[in-house]
Amino acid sequence: MVSTTSSAKMEYRYLGNSGLKVSVFSFGNWLNSNKQEDYEITRDAMKICYDNGINFFDTAEIYGAGSAENQMGRAFKELGYRREDLVVSTKIFKCGGGINDTFLSRKHIVEGLRNSLKRLQMDYVDIVYCHRPDYDTPLEETVRAMSYVIDQGMAFYWGTSEWPADRISKAIELCERLNLHKPVVEQPQYSMLFRTAFEKDYRRVFGEYGYGSTIWSPLAGGLLAGKYNTGTIPEGSRYAVHQGLEAVSVWNQTMSEDKREGTLTKLRALGELAKELGFTQAQLALAWTIANRDVSTCILGFTRLEQVAENLKAIELYQQWNADIEKKVRDILGNDPESDMDWRKWAPQPSRRDQAVRY
């Protein structure tokens, strides 16, 4: 029988410069949003996560065109958890075929969030994100609308997802000038294979604003799980089943003809290091992400229930993380983002990861 619990105790971190505490691992149901038959996996995975100390659950209106929110809301009702013990987030950008059912106008933000709350069967979410930047809607309209939904009690905090750092800075500064609720968190991609945006582009918003992060795709769409180290796609695996935009993009960026051998060399070396440490390659990749303290929480998704406890075991490796493991991983990856210059010292600045990793 597959164990559903991890022996390691869950860690909690503040969500950026806020007073909200979130589990360092969290659950997202994007992978299980398109088919109604995925409901039982969603519900059972949520229970295992909760039993292991996870308190943060993430979804979005666009996942399955609303079905992901429906499933999560139904599961919470069935499981009967106290609302105060949960941190729930959703994301607004697109849901429906109407001319105003998209993007970040005041109309869609307010109506979209109301519809999300109905699907979730909740009075409020803890965090609502702008799922992508909208350059056609005035930024002031968007930040005023996000501040409004907080004032109306529909959400406690708001954040951004895949926004460029300069747009986040503009939003924060605009909110400060207009005395509005500021965004507190970004939801970006971050993994061993995709580092530059998180570690280089966002370093200012992390350092200057104390911005939080709820990272997604920590296994690079599953590529870091160990099952692709031969360079082939096993039958029934994520890349065989889920051929969406993310999967195609990750595969093309890492396994194209000019990068294939370099990627496979890294994957195999990571597999050997994980084995040496007594963990799986997936657990190594997950522990590496949360070793970075700029990560408030790392969102996990599951297609099989046995993956839940297996992935949560990464906390045990994280608790053993040290400079030696960090260096071994760095030497394997060889992809540190280029450092910014410290012009006072006329020398490269320390990397943001060096500053954020704690031993």
Question: Longest Cα pair distance anywhere in the chain, in angstroms?
Answer: 60
Give the other-Cβ count within 10 Å of 307's Cβ.
Answer: 17
Q: Which amino acid is at 96?
A: G
The alpha carbon of 236 is separated from its chain's Cα centroid by a whole number of angstroms, namely 24
Under 8 Å between Cβ of 296 and 266:
no
Counting Cβ atoms within 10 Å, is residue 139 exposed (0-12), middle (13-18) or buried (19+)? Answer: middle
Catalytic (active site) residue 14: no
Query: Cα(250)–Cα(321) distance, rounded to whole angstroms?
Result: 27
> DSSP secondary structure string, 62-124?
TGGGGHHHHHHHHHHHHHT--GGG-EEEEEESB-SSSTTSBSS-HHHHHHHHHHHHHHHT-S-
Q: Could you give the CA distance from residue 266 to residue 334 in angstroms, rounded to a whole number?
A: 9
Catalytic-labelled residue, pool 39, 50, 63, 190:
63
Q: Could you say which DSSP state residue 32 is in?
A: T
292: DSSP letter: B
- Residue carrying structure tokens 């529909």: 154
- Active site (catalytic) residues: 63
